[in-house]
Amino acid sequence: MLAGPFAGRMLSDMGAEVVKLEPPEGDVTRGWGRMRAGLSGYYTQQNAGKRSVCVNLESPGSTPLVRRLAGQADVLIENFRPGVMARHGLSWQDLSPDNPRLIMLSISGFGQQGPESHRAAYAAVLHAESGLVARQAGEDQRSPSDPVLSIADMNAGLHGLVGILSALYLRERGGRGQHIDIAMLDTMLLTDDYANFTLDEIPLTRGGGQVWDAPGGPIMITGDFRIVWKLLAKHHGVVDPTPAGAPLEEKIRLRRKAVGDFFLSFPDRLGLISALDAVNLAWGDIRSNSAAFASPTAQARRTVAQVDDRAGGTRPVVESPYRFSDAPSHVARGPAYRGEHNREVLVDWLGASPNEIEALERDGILSAEPMP
């Protein structure tokens, strides 16, 4: 639901003309989040800038239409379960002979072939299967739970985007397209920077951030605790309270307490931050989502863009992160209603006549929701 649309949204922001094909019931995310003028927040975030064509793949005659569109496309992105595209006559083997320059990205949970390729896969499934959920539960000493973030979908969409851009470059050199098979499981395991501990069969050494109590609220400080201790002891005179001969676990506990007491000894947060900056320790405020978007950096970089809400106003979406020195990268327009661009796309891409489009509508191949 997210991986393919996210990759398409990023391509749109970088200047591609992106057409989203939707079923008659519409993308399921059209019902997620706050509704404005019949358009949901989630759908808007992932599909702003795209044009919408509504095709019923279950209707006879739909496959030739989609194959004609694919014949004019540079890239086709799909994130169905493996086998769905082939069932509709839209597999890579079906489409490539018609358009040898076509680049097709297929995103699935477990890859296009293999013993588990048939499985249904959403982000939470891959969070569990990749070890993320179990490891975090062990680290937090809590019951397993899923993070409130579709990490697996975003990873797959971003790696799919990398594959597309690489394939476009290869096509410039060799003239032919590619079929890119992205498995969400692969992307989760690749982007796990702690995987080396598992592969080398050694205990995990945590090197990420830790949260400490501090004036003004908790603060995140990154780095191995041994480095944190060494810097604070050397430059800020934090005294080691460990008695001679104490076991390692007791030494760590007492040193951590000394560091915690040092952080809380400051009368205000600015004093603590100055002390951390003085020894180059990286810190972070524990912000809410809304506070993150209001941060100085997000404001300066215009991380939030405003798009047409289709009701005479605007609504916010997160801007793509790409900042080129001499090229635009920006969300192109607001979201589309389901099937809003049926006629426009078929005329632009296929040179379809009004009679042909009316026949597709009569046959139930094309449909559209009423415009508010």
Q: How far is CA 55 from CA 98, 105, 131, 204, 348, in A?
A: 20, 20, 38, 49, 17
CA 40-43-45 angle, 5° bins = 105
Q: Identify any residues that bridge with 75 across adjacent strands, giving them in sequence order.
A: 103
Residue 285's φ and ψ, nearest 5 degrees, are -75, 145
CA separation for the pair 207, 191 (Å, rounded): 16
Q: Where are the alpha helices (DSSP H) in the chain?
A: 3-13, 41-47, 62-72, 84-87, 92-95, 123-129, 132-140, 151-174, 184-190, 195-199, 225-236, 248-264, 269-278, 289-293, 296-300, 342-350, 354-362
Residue 153 appears among annotated catalytic residues: yes
**Cα 212 from chain centre:** 29
Residue 353: which residues within 8 A CB-CB, separation 6 or more?
none
Q: Contact at 8 Å (CB) between 320 and 331? A: yes
CA–CA dist 73, 67 (Å, integer): 10
**Catalytic residue, candidates 153, 224, 268, 348:** 153
DSSP per position, 181-222: EEEHHHHHHHT-TTHHHHHTT------SEEEE--TTS-EEEE
Q: Would you state the structure tokens that stand for residue 54, as one six-digit string?
A: 């509504």
Beta pairing, strands 209-212 & 314-318: unpaired
Rounded distance, CA 159 to CA 32, Å? 25
3-state secondary structure of 279: coil
**Catalytic site positions:** 153
